[in-house]
Homo-oligomer: A and B are copies of this chain.
Amino acid sequence: MRDALVAAALRLFDERGFEQTTVDDIVALAGVGRRSFFRYFPSKESVVFPDHDGCLAEMNAFLADPAGAAEDPVERAGAAARLVLRMYAADPVFSVRRYRLTREVPALRAHELSAVWRYERALADYLRSRYAHRPDGRLRADVVAAAVVAAHNNALRSWLRSGAERDPEASVTEALAYVVATWGDQAPVPAGPTARGEEADGADGAEEVREGEEVVVLVARRGTPMWRVVDEIQAALSAT
């Protein structure tokens, strides 16, 4: 019955437009009562997004699984975001119709933004717990969650725009790898504003060595004397 309601709603939204269709029209076409509609969907908007609540629950369960604790936090968040991709990819024809409708109807756009926001909050909450030991933990969690969602949606939307014909997994993998390369545990550590440009610490060229878990990142102003660079990097490479 749920599927019949979704199919009837989409057909009417396509034919008459979203605003011109009432819940009564939908239940009449689906051949069910009005109360049945509201048993499944809180609003006319939500019938267009029947699977977001289930997908969010699945994402939260995935993120709560202790098996993920050993994984890079950004990779884990990316894997969680892929659950959304799989939901879209499970029914490409429906996903493309919805994408076109959502671009045209502000009420649906607003509903979709709420769904995206809930996913982003789930990822940010997860990352806040993974980054709880970092002084910049909350900020980093919010920024990385937004970056994961933006990368995922960039690839998802390209796929939907193109008519969802090829397999979307590869382009989402590539987009998420971009975020992991920047923010993952093995990414280079940003130099931070104090090591940049004019504010750098010394007239003879600034250098700074920061340490990740397995890599050492050295940021040096061009023209820094070689002996200073070697000193710094030797200290960093031998540190444990």
Closest chain B CB from A192 CB (angstroms): 5
Of A23-31, A32-40, A143-151, the stretch lying at the interface with chain B is A143-151
A70 at the interface (CB under 8 A from B): no
Contacts of A189 in B (CB 8 A): 188
CB contact between A193 and one of B138, B181, B221 (< 8 Å): that residue: B181
Among the interface residues A113, A114, A177, A226, which one has the most CB atoms of the partner chain B within 10 A? A113
Interface secondary structure of A, over-half rule: helix
Interface check A129, CB cutoff 8 A: no
A159-208 interface (Cβ within 8 A of B): 175, 177-184, 186-193, 196-197
Q: Does A66 contact B (CB under 8 A)?
A: no
A214 interface residue (CB < 8 Å to B): yes
A186 to B200, CA, bound (A): 12
| Set of chain B residues within 8 Å of A110, measured between Cβ atoms | 110-111, 113-114
Contact status A229-B233, CB under 8 Å: yes
A150: chain B residues within 8 A (beta carbon): 142-143, 145-147
Q: Are A187 and B191 touching (Cβ within 8 A)?
A: yes
By Cβ-Cβ distance, the 6 closest A-B pairs, closest first, are A146-B150, A181-B190, A146-B146, A188-B188, A177-B193, A113-B113
Q: Can you name 27 A-B residue pairings with CB atoms under 8 Å?
A: A113-B113, A139-B154, A143-B147, A143-B151, A143-B178, A145-B150, A177-B192, A177-B193, A181-B190, A181-B191, A182-B182, A182-B183, A186-B197, A188-B191, A196-B215, A214-B221, A215-B220, A216-B221, A216-B224, A217-B217, A218-B233, A222-B237, A224-B237, A226-B230, A226-B233, A226-B237, A233-B233
Q: Taking A143-B178, A196-B215, A226-B230 as given, write out 7 further A-B residue pairs in contact, using a Cβ cutoff of 8 Å, ordered by the A residue number.
A: A143-B151, A147-B150, A188-B190, A214-B221, A215-B219, A218-B220, A230-B230
Q: Which residues of A contact B (CB under 8 A)?
A: 106, 109-111, 113-114, 117, 136, 138-140, 142-143, 145-147, 149-151, 153-155, 175, 177-184, 186-193, 196-197, 214-224, 226, 229-230, 233-234, 237
